[in-house]
């Protein structure tokens, strides 16, 4: 009896209590706030800055899935292939370059675990991810993810991020804006430099181009939307060499059979985006405190003019030009686009 009780207690401790997420129960997480520094915050339905998944622009889900977990709709909480690829990449580069965690694993870690890099924490994360994938829909998992994720500059959650960086509502985020936010997730404070100054570094442009191309290959956006995103992806300005990028992407796509999209999209790794780009990861200075009349859970950029959206919002349902494939919705299982795993915050 004692042994059984001890085993039960261990299991209850070891496996994160992910059913709480399905019940809509708030979770207490640690966040860094400009005004108060590190603090404990409750995140969940009904709490400040919570946004329901159905109220988000579909481009947000598409960009995040493409950038963070290309096989999200096809795996069962963990992605052994991504883990193996990460191990091989880390061995090849002789450093910790990629974590290999899925979106589901990241939700478990952000909601229930610490950031300590230990085998025990990783195993708890994996067990929680498998259980969460069994109990929750993909849309429910994504809803928690966009509300828990950090976007740099002391900003957490997609609702606060859309307001902070683009002065808009999350349901009105354009394709370009969604990609900009997805770019910084792997290392928010280091990779949000281009987002904060509204001018992508070369490193940021490469990431933008790769995510946009994979969104196209996955069927999330039409060719016209893809070309438009490249032509104004640097906050209203075209990416460097955007016409060449478009031509190369078209040539690669033309050589792909429908069941080989993952191989075609795999060229993201060829850009060596797991390396450290000095211009993108400069040490971020301590942000200034928010004004006293600003809510603590709504960080704002100080000492800078309010951001002006660079484009008119793209309608949530845009008619596809003749010849373009239909755009997938978040509930569909897209083709197996390349997986883009976070770099350092995702072990």
pLDDT at 35: 74
Distance CA 174, CA 282 (A): 28
Q: What is the pLDDT of residues 255-286, one digit of tens each?
A: 776 555 555 554 343 333 333 333 333 333 33
Classify each residue of 281-291 as buried b or exposed e, where b means 16 or more C-beta atoms within 10 Å of its C-beta. Answer: eeeeeebeebe
DSSP reduced 3-state for 30: strand
Can you give the pLDDT at residue 15?
85
- How many Å apart are CA 17 and CA 243, to the nearest integer? 49
Residues facing 33 on adjacent strands: 37
Distance CA 72, CA 150 (A): 20
Write down all domains in the chain, each with its CATH number in brackets. 16-271 (1.10.3810.10)
**For the purposes of burial, counting CB atoms within 10 Å of the CB of 91, is it exposed (0-12), middle (13-18) or buried (19 or more)?**
exposed
The closest of 276, 330, 266, 298 to 103, measured between CA atoms, is 330
- Each residue of 11-32: pLDDT tens digit? 666 788 899 999 989 999 988 8
State the DSSP H helix or E strand holding residue 56, giving kind and residue range, or none if neither.
none
Q: Give the global pTM.
A: 0.73
What is the helix (H) or strand (E) element at residue 329, kind and residue range? none
| Tens digit of each residue's pLDDT (9 = 90 or more) over 77-120 | 988 887 787 777 777 877 665 667 899 999 999 999 887 878 88
pLDDT at residue number 321: 40
- Taking only the tens of pLDDT, the chain with its 347 residues reads 675 666 666 566 678 889 999 998 999 998 887 777 888 999 999 998 999 999 999 999 999 999 999 889 989 998 888 778 777 777 787 766 566 789 999 999 999 988 787 888 889 999 999 999 999 999 999 999 999 999 988 899 999 999 999 999 999 999 999 999 999 998 888 888 888 899 998 889 999 999 999 999 888 999 999 999 999 999 999 999 888 888 888 887 777 765 555 555 543 433 333 333 333 333 333 334 333 333 334 343 333 334 434 443 443 434 334 444 444 444 444 444 333 333 334 33
């Amino acid at each position: 009896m004692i042994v059984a009780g001890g085993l039960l207690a261990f299991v209850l401790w070891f496996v994160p209590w992910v059913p709480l997420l399905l019940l809509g129960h708030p979770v207490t997480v640690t966040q860094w706030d400009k005004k108060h520094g590190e603090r404990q915050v409750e995140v969940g339905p009904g709490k400040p800055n919570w946004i329901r998944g159905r109220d988000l622009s579909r481009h947000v889900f598409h960009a995040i899935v493409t950038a963070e977990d290309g096989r999200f709709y096809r795996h069962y909480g963990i992605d052994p292939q991504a883990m193996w690829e990460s191990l091989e990449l880390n061995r090849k580069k002789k450093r910790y370059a990629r974590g290999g965690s899925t979106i589901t694993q990241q939700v478990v870690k952000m909601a229930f675990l610490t950031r300590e890099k230990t085998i025990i924490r990783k195993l708890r994360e994996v067990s929680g991810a498998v259980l969460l994938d069994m109990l929750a829909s993909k849309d429910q998992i994504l809803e928690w993810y966009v509300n828990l994720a950090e976007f740099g500059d002391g900003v957490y959650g997609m609702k606060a991020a859309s307001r902070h960086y683009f002065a808009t509502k999350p349901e009105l985020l354009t394709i370009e804006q969604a990609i900009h936010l997805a770019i910084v997730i792997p290392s928010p404070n280091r990779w949000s430099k281009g987002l904060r100054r509204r001018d992508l570094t070369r490193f940021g442009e490469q990431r933008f181009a790769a995510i946009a191309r994979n969104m196209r290959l996955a069927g999330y956006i039409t060719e016209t939307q893809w070309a438009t995103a490249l032509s104004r992806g640097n906050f209203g300005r075209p990416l460097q060499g955007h016409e060449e990028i478009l031509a190369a992407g078209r040539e690669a796509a033309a050589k792909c059979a429908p069941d080989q999209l993952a191989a075609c999209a795999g060229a993201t790794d060829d850009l060596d985006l797991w390396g450290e780009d000095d211009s993108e990861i400069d040490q971020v200075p301590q942000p200034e405190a928010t004004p006293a009349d600003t809510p603590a859970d709504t960080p704002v950029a100080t000492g800078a003019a309010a951001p002006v959206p660079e484009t008119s919002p793209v309608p949530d349902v845009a008619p596809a030009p003749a010849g373009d494939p239909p755009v997938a919705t978040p509930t569909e299982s897209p083709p197996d686009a390349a997986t883009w795993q976070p770099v350092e915050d995702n072990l």
